[in-house]
Each structure stands twice: as C-alpha cells, then as structure tokens.
Amino acid sequence: MEAGEDEGFVEKIIEVHGIRKSFKKRKTKEIITAVNDVSFDVHRGEVLGLLGPNGAGKTSTIKMICGLLQADEGSIHINGLDIQKRRLKALKHISAVLEGNRNLYWRLTVRENLEYFAGNRGLSRKEVAAQIEKLLSQFHLKDKENELVNGLSRGMQQKLAIAVALLANTEVILLDEPTLGLDVEISYELREILKTIVKEEKRTIIISSHDMPVVQELCDRTIIINKGTVVVDERVENLLKLFETRAYSIKLGDALSEAQQLKLQRKFPLSTYKVGTHQTTVEVNLEHSEDIYELFDIFKEEGTQVESIDRITIDFEQVFMEIVKGEKNYAMA
C-alpha cells in the first residue's frame, strides 16, 4: 500500500495538493481553467472559509473534494484516503450542501427528506430518530416537519439542507454558499445556528461564501481564491490584524504644502488627503510597516504637526475587496 493511503488517525483530515481543473465550453470549445494549482490542508476541527468572487473556482474546488468532479491533476486525501481512488470509502467522512437550492426532494416533506438521505447512507430511521428531533428543534423546523419542501421558503429549504448534511454525522461538512440569496434576517438566523454548531460539535467545516460576516464570525482560517489560484491562506484574526496595522488615519495640525502633497501622491498613490475647516487628515494604507517612516519624513520636512495617528478598523469585506481588486499577492510575514 502506498504511503499516506492508510485510514486511521490523520492530523490533517483534508489534504489538497496541486489540483487543477479545466472545462471545455460547450459552444465555443474554449477552454476555461477553473482551478489552477490549488493546495491546502485542513486540520481536524478547523473551520475554513473559502472566499472569492464569482467564478473564482470555489464550487469546483468543493466538488473535487467530494469527488463529484475529478481533478485533471493533483491529489486530494480525506482522512488519508485518496478521493479519486477510494471515493466511496472517503465519502463516509464527508457530507455537503452544494450551491443552489436543489439539495432536497421538493416532493417529500421535511421529515421524509431527513429520513431518506440518512437511509441512503445506510442509516435506519430508528438510528437517526433522536437526532432528527434535535435538528428539527435546533433549526426551528419542528412545526414544518410534515410540510412539503416545495412550499417552504428558500431560507427554510437551506436550513433543512444543512440539517440533512449534519444528520449524516460525518467529520467533514462542506457548505457551498450557505447564505447565498437569503434575506438578511434568515441569513443572520442561519449564522447563529452555525455558530452554535461550530462551538458545540468538533466538526471540520469548509464554508465557501461571499458573505463576509459568515466567514468573519465562523471561521478560524480563510483561503481567498481568485481566478483559480490561492491568493491568501491565513488565520482570520491575523488577516484582520495585518490590515488594521497597515491602515492609518493621521490628523495634522496644518495643511500640507504643494510640494508635500506631490510627494505624498508619488510615494503613496492610494492615500487620501482631506482638508477640512478644523483639521487636515491623511489616510494611508501602507504595504510595509516601515513605510510609516517615509510618510513621517514628508511631514517633518516642513515641520507639519502630527496631532494623532489612528488605526483604521476595517472589516473583512474591505480586506477581501482590496485583495481581489488589487490582485496583490500578499506574502504574509
């Protein structure tokens, strides 16, 4: 047997190594590279956020982890099992809620869906009866248990789809855009439910999302992918800290001279300079923390008073937008 093929306790429950996937467009025969050399590991119990704009390759990556899509190159191991060679065995460890709203049978009721999908994993109704009750109340679906999924709101359908995935009792759960298309209220409710689950159960979860609060509140770590490649792989707190320390708002005693403004523009093209009636502020986003000295040199030249320096608190959304829009490759220190 090949090394790393043994099942048993593996610290990294998911190992993704150099995966690539291209599709041929049906009409134009043009080849699109959806995922281009993506690698990452996920540890047991970790909650990983997968962020990226539309078309970045999130769904393709998730489907390759489930074995629904075969990678053109690279390998994926789940609990040490190669998903391409031993798919069914590896699937014992994974459940997933895929993108969109078709993870359920619309012609079956809420309860029938839970029971049916458990049955498809070889579980009897008796075995899952207690857990179904627990999930129905946890997801506030108890009073809908005998209603057809067809008649439920999009939010309730999504809650049920997640409940179905949880019922499988797998160590790994993949959630592809769980809050996409939901209104604010239900999106908040879902987030709160997921928060409890993350706290109470030691599951390994990958959540792909556009929804920053979801990632910010639930995830330990985040991977940002853009155009099929990993741009950032960092703990959420570090990512926020990093950007916090780099974004400053500086209040000045006097206005800057023409020469100073010119220098500011040249050295820090993305900075903003505002002259108000009472005060003047400069906002900058420094790429390297040493750059702050250069900034201060500009002020010192003409003896401009610096009244205060504040870090700008930014949320995850801004971080994400900067990375994706700027296409910068942030090598983490």
Partner 1 sequence: MQWLNLLNANIRKEYIELKRYLPNTIALLLTFYIIFLAAFFGIMFVGDPASFEVNVQYSIISVAFWSLTMMTMNFIGFAIVTEAMRGTLEQLYMSPLGVWKIMLTRIIAQFILQMVFMVILLFAAMLTSGQWLNLNPMTTLPIILITMVSMTGVSFMIAGLAIIVKQIQAFLQIFQFVLMALVFIPISVAPFLAFAPFVKGVDMVRTIMIENITLTQIPWADYSFLIANSIVYLTLGLVVFRSCEKVAMKKGLLGQY
Q: Which span (103-111, 137-145, 211-219, 278-286) binds partner 1, by CB under 8 A? A: 103-111
Helix (H, G, I), strand (E, B) or coil at 176: strand
Interface with Mg ion in residues 33-72 (CB under 5 A)? 58-59
Q: Please state the closest distance from residue 36 (CB atom) to ligand ADP, in A.
A: 10
Whole-angstrom distance, CA of residue 126 vs CA of residue 120 = 14
Phi, psi for residue 34 in degrees, rounded to 5: -85, -40
> For the window 124-163, what string marks contact with partner 1 as x by the rule CB under 8 A?
xx--------------------------------------
Name the site residues for ligand ADP (rule: CB under 6 A): 23, 32, 34, 52, 54-60
Cβ nearer to partner 1, comparing 108 with 242:
108
Q: 3-state DSSP call for residue 72?
A: coil
Q: How far is the CB of 52 from ligand ADP (least distance, A)?
A: 5
**Shortest distance, CB of residue 224 to ligand ADP, whole angstroms?**
11
Site string for Mg ion, 242-281 (x = CB under 5 A): ----------------------------------------
Q: Is 105 in the site for partner 1 (CB under 8 A)?
A: yes
Cα–Cα distance, 293 to 237 (Å, whole number) = 26
Binding mask 73-92 for partner 1 (x = CB under 8 A): ---------------xx-xx
| Least gap, CB of 130 to ligand ADP (angstroms) | 35
Contact status, residue 221 vs residue 46, Cβ threshold 8 Å: yes
Q: How many residues bind partner 1 (CB under 8 A)?
A: 37
Q: Which stretch binds partner 1 (CB under 8 A): 38-46, 101-109, 202-210, 255-263?
A: 101-109
Q: Which does 123 bind (CB under 5 to 8 A by kind): partner 1, Mg ion, ligand ADP, none?
A: partner 1
Neighbouring residues of 90: CB distance < 8 A, sequence distance ≥ 6: 67, 78, 79, 81, 82, 83
Candidate list 38, 56, 76, 98; residue touching partner 1; CB under 8 A: 98
Can you tell me the distance from the alpha carbon of 78 to that of 86, in angstroms, rounded to the nearest whole number? Answer: 10
Shortest Å distance, C-beta 90 to partner 1: 8
Structure tokens belonging to residue 76:
């994926």
In the list ligand ADP, Mg ion, partner 1, none, the entry touching 106 (Cβ below 5 to 8 angstroms by class) is partner 1
Work out which of 76, 94, 163, 194 binds partner 1, going by CB under 8 A.
94
Render 248-310 in DSSP notation, one character per residue: EEEEESSPPPHHHHHHHHHH-TT-EEEE-SS-EEEEEE-SSTTHHHHHHHHHHHTTPPEEEEE
Task: Measure CA 38 to chain center.
Answer: 15
72 token code pair:
């053109």
The enclosing H or E element of 215 equals helix 212-218
Return the structure tokens found at 255: 């206005």
Tokens at residue 33, please?
A: 């590279």
35 close to 61: Cβ distance less than 8 angstroms:
yes
Q: Which of residues 5-34 bind partner 1 (CB under 8 A)?
A: 21, 23
**Site stretch for partner 1 (CB under 8 A), options 99-107, 185-193, 200-208, 283-291:** 99-107
Which one, 58 or 93, has the nearer CB to Mg ion? 58
Q: Alpha carbon of 251 to those of 15, 247, 264, 269, 287: distances in Å? A: 48, 13, 15, 18, 20
CA 308 remoteness from chain centre: 35
Is residue 113 at the binding interface for Mg ion, with CB under 5 A as the rule? Answer: no
95 touches partner 1 by CB under 8 A:
yes
Q: Which stretch binds partner 1 (CB under 8 A): 108-116, 133-141, 258-266, 317-325?
A: 108-116
